Structure 1
């Protein structure tokens, strides 16, 4: 699911609050990608869970692709009817 610019900004703010770092190189600068709904894919996940794609912006990063799990309310998505 494509995120709006506002949702991408919320993800970046969330990453800043958590002091998130790239697991491969330790950088803190990320590009936010799309979100994948996880609630129906995995039994352990909450029904409102999403995986948000992140790309480390460090050009020397050996593994630049990662992600973060977020809840629907954290992304400000409309409730599912």
Structure 2
């Protein structure tokens, strides 16, 4: 199990991530709203602007203040480190 830093010391298991998407589109906003109503929303922005929305296997939705690209880079780095061991 590899943990990915999604900002401000918050970590998510890379094995559980289904998608990392930008929060701008209406469908993503609907997903966030539905998750909030169903108590499946995790806000990891620490009061900052949401720059990415992470959808997990168990239908949890995680808000992050770092960009999708930064999360991708951290996931790729994690995979590279995994291959070295």
TM-score w.r.t. the length of structure 1 is 0.36
* Higher relative contact order (Cα pairs below 8 Å, separated by 6+ residues): 2
TM-score w.r.t. the length of structure 2 is 0.35
- Higher relative helix content: 2
